[in-house]
Structure 1
């Protein structure tokens, strides 16, 4: 039996707004927009996309799952994401880390890493 990762689902209050942020952040586009679901990705045949689904409850704790973004230029990318509406957050990561922790407009944490050469290349 074959299986693949289809969507990463993100709970949201403002589906179009959060989808617009992540489209700008990732240079993706909205592929489908319905009242209770917005799907973004590179194109409809891409292997994986992000699906935003509505919730009514407020976010209260640190995410158990988050995105790691690996740009060519970490400092420039952090500034670009802040201009798009992200904000810096402290989740206890400390000052001496190689990544920067930000939150999207709804408070979902994500990391901006230094440039990477592979999926298994890690640095503190």
Structure 2
């Protein structure tokens, strides 16, 4: 039990000390985790778990939507893709369709990988300019 308490404290601390960019990365990773679990639930024909995991994925996508700065053109394009992913997950939930979940998983993976690169570039620029993190 003490190990689990230490792990939970570590997880909580990692969230509370993360930068906004790192939090976004955590959201993408969480979404991917729930999409993987939803595929497994579909394959096992576990309707309750499938629904729960797809809804958790949709909640993360909805949270990502709220973080967009709609003054930027790129945000408008991202919003359209987020809306598409959200709608496709609703369809996957109704149809029990692993292929649709995999389609969304591919899009989320691309977003996550791109975001990870942005974080790395920003860190390099901060260190090159002498700013501390």
Whether TM-score is above 0.5 comes out as no
Write 1 or 2 for the structure with the bigger share of strand.
1
Q: Which has the higher contact order (CA 8 A, sep 6+)?
A: 2
Q: TM-score of the superposition, structure 2-length normalised? A: 0.23
The structure having more radius of gyration, on CA atoms, is 2
